[in-house]
Chains A and B, each alone.
Chain A
């Protein structure tokens, strides 16, 4: 299983150290940055699965960083990385602003580590679920185009065959000229039928290739749960620890 990458951005070294030890023990890959600018570099370089961010930092604040990630087109590749924001301020206005910017959770310092872990789990799980929904939607779209293609290529198949049937009804087999022109017609109609079949075949293969790549990324709900159980089986052992 691939380790989930969590990036911690905090100007207090003690917090970084604490998260590093605890989250590494739980099987996460921990990345750290001491300010927003360094954080941005790390995001670009490592594309973490989750960002935990202090809101008050020198240089680039948590707010500013969040705003860049969510709104700036230069960072559109990182827009969907979930963010948990930390704050020493329990101000409703700040929380609302954070959520409006698109953060996934907001934690007040000082925090209880078990609670933080539970929140990390919830955020990662939600994120994974919404990605699975997107994948399934893609697959639905593919199935939908397949259905449509079947219908419209069938139109191309029907006509030539009907044409042959029609001509054969009025064919006078004793007239060599008529037989010859019937033969020409059958050849032409067969060619069109084969062209439509070839087109349909292409289309079906193409859709199957895309469907396969989407399916590969899909997880069942059980697999999803299993993935998270791995990381959080120690959750209870750590209950009570705080920073």
Chain B
């Protein structure tokens, strides 16, 4: 049985990913946030939520291919 919470989290994650790919990071962040508020153990939503926050602060180049470049020191 798949519970309704999980289903909703997955729906929100998919919606967030669509927005993310379109560089709508603020809107995407809202979706990811909703997802991990529903299920705080949902790591993928947290991961991409964090990336949205990063890109809101530091918008990616025009050639951005959707791949996050890890900031290494």
Distance in Å: Cβ of B71 to nearest Cβ of chain A: 10
- Counting contact residues on chain A (CB < 8 A from B), the size range is 20 to 34
B49 → chain A, closest Cβ, in Å?
Answer: 12
* Closest chain A CB from B65 CB (angstroms): 9
B10 at the interface (CB under 8 A from A): yes
Structural contact, B7 and A191, CB atoms closer than 8 A: no
Q: Are B13 and A159 in contact (CB under 8 A)?
A: no
Q: Mark A179-220, 1 if CB is under 8 A from B, else 0.
A: 000000000100110111011001101110110011000000
A162 at interface by CB-CB < 8 Å: yes
In the complex, the answer to whether A195 meets B13 with C-beta atoms within 8 Å is yes
Interface of chain A, helix or strand or loop or mixed?
Answer: helix
A163 at the interface (CB under 8 A from B): yes
B50-73 CB contacts (< 8 Å) to partner A: 66-70, 72
Q: Within the assembled complex, what's the spacing in Å between the Cα atoms of A152 and B14?
A: 15
In contact, A199 and B11 (Cβ under 8 angstroms) = no
Contact of A125 with B by CB under 8 A = no
User: Which among A149, A202, A206 has the highest number of chain B CB atoms within 10 Å?
Assistant: A202
A159 engages B7 (CB within 8 Å): yes
B33 at the interface (CB under 8 A from A): no
Q: B-contacting residues of A (Cβ < 8 Å)?
A: 138, 148-149, 152-153, 156, 159-160, 162-163, 166, 188, 191-192, 194-196, 198-199, 202-203, 205-207, 209-210, 213-214
